[in-house]
Amino acid sequence: MAAQSSVSLEKIVALCKRRGFVYQSAEIYSGLNGVYDFGPLGAQLRKNIKDAWLNHMTQWAEDVVVMDGSILGSAAVWKASGHLDNFSDPMVDCLSCKKRYRADELELQKPCPSCGNRQWTDVRQFQLMFETNLGALSDNASKAYLRPETAQAIFINIKNVMTSSRVKIPFGIAQIGKAFRNEITPKQFLFRLREFEQMEMEFFCKGEDAASFFDLWIERRQHFYRQIGLSMDRIRMRQHAADELAHYSQACVDVEYEFPFGWKELEGIANRGNFDLSQHSGHSGKDLAVFDEATRESFMPHVVECSVGVDRLFLTLLFDAYYEDEVDGEIRTVLKLSPRMAPVKAAFLPLVKKLNEPMEKLYLHIKKQGYSVLFDDAGSIGKRYRRYDEIGTPACFTFDFESLEDNAVTVRNRDTLQQERIAIDRVQEYLDAMLKTAE
């Protein structure tokens, strides 16, 4: 049977739990809706995603510097950004079964999908930001919000970054960090969460250059998805129609992926004009315009934004990599993750426990060089191969009795299933070559 992508959301959820990628948060207390914890493999995959993104963002001729803003934000920030007034979704309740829906995801002339009755409340706007209070007093002055996006910390710090790190327009500021949205209906596992992590880059340039930087970043971001191994026939760039654009936005392209539940946004790339900096200048009374040495004039930089969720990309990678095929008469589940993204690069497997010692020596040597690798002596060799296929490990090294004689191990390729014999002192070279071809 040829490898097939017979992936479904249920299969991904089950695999994630079984192998320690993702757990429902507070599971032993019956769970917290729209919030997840990440196990050892999940944490490693997230790290690989974030490393790849940072690497991509900071490799160009133009400077892109990195910052780390606070999660708590004052009401003033979110007033200026427009979130306090506009960051809401329309909500409607079924009067009969009390189930709550996003009104824009429902046809209100039809009955409730849950109970079949048709008795709706009025549609109300529901603020998506989580509100809290700083300090012992809870009044209007102590109000703060968990950030619903990371971008605002970048905008309000543009002057700090420019004066402290000598970057000049055009340049970007990148940031990875948690964001929180009180989504009315969190769903599709990691696709729509209440607590998630964003990777955002705001690129500042002159107004006349914004359109060409916008095109350039679209091209670069496409290249990124190719580099991390996503199937490009399941990726498309969707230009927003004029009536979809926010009033300040010049243009917006969604990078969409074909999930089993349809084409959906993976990343948003937007030419935001100078709206954000103008808003913060106006509201704070601090001029965020930049002085141009050449023309001796100040100007308000324009912004091109690239924004993608770590969790949404995590889910996309798993969907994209999931295959089932038949090996030795059994169905094999395999994640064909690119070696660069795979949480475990190689497994070290002694054929029998008697051979543990020499294999462990090789394993520890490779591990000490900083590779993410595992040692495993539990179960038959076939079972162990399956275990590593299922978590996307590209190479398995096996130490057998012959290894004692010829100082070589067998390496099995996850995708081709081919096995070859290589000298023990070439194992590291093999791993380097494997990781390099994946770039």
Among residue numbers 173 through 212, which ones bind ligand ATP (CB under 6 A)?
181, 183, 192-193, 196, 198
Nearer to ligand ATP, 251 or 408 (CB): 251
Told to check if 221 binds ligand ATP by CB under 6 A, we report no
DSSP 187-251: BTTTTB-SEEEEEEEEEEE-GGGHHHHHHHHHHHHHHHHHHTT--GGGEEEEEPPGGGS-TT-SE
d(CA 413, CA 175): 36
Q: How far is the CB of 152 from ligand ATP (least distance, A)?
A: 12
Nearer to ligand ATP, 252 or 395 (CB): 252
Backbone angles phi, psi at 127, to 5 degrees: -70, 125
Which of the stretches 44-52, 306-314, 335-343, 358-366 binds ligand ATP when contact is defined by CB under 6 A?
306-314
* 10 HSE (CA, 13 A, CB side): 1
d(CA 20, CA 27): 14
Residue 189, Ramachandran bin (φ over 0: left; ψ between -120 and 50: alpha; else beta): left
Backbone angles phi, psi at 413, to 5 degrees: -90, 125
Backbone angles phi, psi at 387, to 5 degrees: -60, -40
Q: How far is the CB of 310 from ligand ATP (least distance, A)?
A: 8
Among residue numbers 121 through 160, which ones bind ligand ATP (CB under 6 A)?
149
Q: Where are the beta strands (DSSP E) in 272-321?
A: 290-292, 297-299, 302-309
Q: How far is the CB of 177 from ligand ATP (least distance, A)?
A: 12
Nearer to ligand ATP, 37 or 402 (CB): 37
Cβ contact 229:341 at 8 Å: yes
Told to check if 311 binds ligand ATP by CB under 6 A, we report yes
Told to check if 215 binds ligand ATP by CB under 6 A, we report no
Binding mask 379-408 for ligand ATP (x = CB under 6 A): ------------------------------
Nearer to ligand ATP, 93 or 197 (CB): 197
Q: How far is the CB of 270 from ligand ATP (least distance, A)?
A: 8
Among residue numbers 253 through 282, which ones bind ligand ATP (CB under 6 A)?
265-268
Of residues 197, 182, 204, the one with CA closest to residue 102: 182
Size of the site for ligand ATP (CB under 6 A): 16
The residue ranges that bind ligand ATP (CB under 6 A) are: 149, 181, 183, 192-193, 196, 198, 265-268, 307-309, 311-312
